[in-house]
Amino acid sequence: MPTDHLMEPAVYHAGVEAEDALHLAAENFFTPEEREPRECSLKSKEDFERVYHEWLPLRNFEWFAKEIVRRAPNQLVRLHGRCVLCDKEQDFLIQMQDGDVNWLEQVVCPDCQGNARVRFWVGRLAQEGRDGKSLVLERGSNERNWLFHLLGERVNLYWQRTAGQSNKENGKLNTEQLPYGDASLRMVASYDFLETLEDPIPALKEAARVLQPGGKLLLHTLFDANALQTVDRTVRRDGEPFSESGLWYRDPDIQERELSLVWKVFGWDVLDTIRACGFREACCRTHYSINYGYMGYLPLWIEAIR
């Protein structure tokens, strides 16, 4: 990977500590504006490839940071930034696992322990959910706790138990028959949920029904930006589900034997599917911010407008 505009990790030989080297790289090779959050909409695989190349300096910075972590295994490598959950400046810890850095999971706030994935997703939902009643279908207790803290009664939180249904303390929620009136919600969001439905179309149509005009559907799901078509990861054989790839989720809040199969890994055709279910706009969105510790392989989520 090109590194023309970055310092070589060999800078350690000049007596520069790992953490200082990372700070210097961020400050010297990115303007303050470039370190701030950046987002864009992607409507096709071609859009994705274009943005991937436009954001090549970020890829180089990630490579540089990974080299720092790899070459300084006994040092704590930090990236200075701001945590949206703590709402204050922090030094995020960057960790190596299995020879690589997972930018979504391992850029961690030392105070709240929120990784980049949790910080961004919860922060985004909290921002979108302030204007009206919202419904969030999600899997992780960490995200659920933070959303309740930030939004309180403005958000209805459910966690998935089986495909098509979710649990809340007061009962179950069927995603094909939501207990909300037409056009009654401002936002519907799901986190690692849509791919566990054998047929996601009824749930998408139901989300469109309960959303107000202009309301948003936000989906964090398994999505392959290099695939034009959605791929079935689970099929039925003699009426029984069979996972071709062995992909499944284990819910941390329930017994281990209760698993959720992954039925789909979505491709770009899912945007057409969403529009056909009652949404006037649908796109993928991607973001990054060195200041907020959002990096990685162009993290994507799907946004649709009712």
pLDDT tens for each residue of 39-66: 889 999 999 999 888 887 777 788 888 7
Higher-confidence position of 31 and 205: 205
CATH number among 3.30.420, 3.40.1130, 3.40.50, 1.20.120, domain 119-305: 3.40.50
**Which pTM value belongs to this model?**
0.80
- H/E stretch holding 102 reads none
Question: Contact at 8 Å (CB) between 241 and 259?
Answer: no
Question: Contact at 8 Å (CB) between 93 and 107?
Answer: yes
The pLDDT score that the predictor gives to residue 30 is 78
In angstroms, the CA 122 to CA 134 distance is 13
Rounded to the nearest 5 degrees, what angle is found at the Cα of 273, between the Cα atoms of 270 and 275? 115
- In the numeric block, the tokens 């809040």 are attached to 253
Band of pLDDT at residue 141, cut at 50, 70 and 90: low
Which distant-in-sequence residues (6+ apart) come within 8 Å of 198 by Cβ?
163, 164, 234, 241, 263
At residue 46, what are phi and psi to the nearest 5 degrees?
-65, -40
Which distant-in-sequence residues (6+ apart) come within 8 Å of 162 by Cβ?
258, 260
The pLDDT score that the predictor gives to residue 251 is 45
pLDDT, tens only, 76-106: 778 888 998 888 999 888 877 776 777 877 8
Question: Contact at 8 Å (CB) between 265 and 246?
Answer: no
Domain limits, CATH 3.40.50, in the chain: 119-305
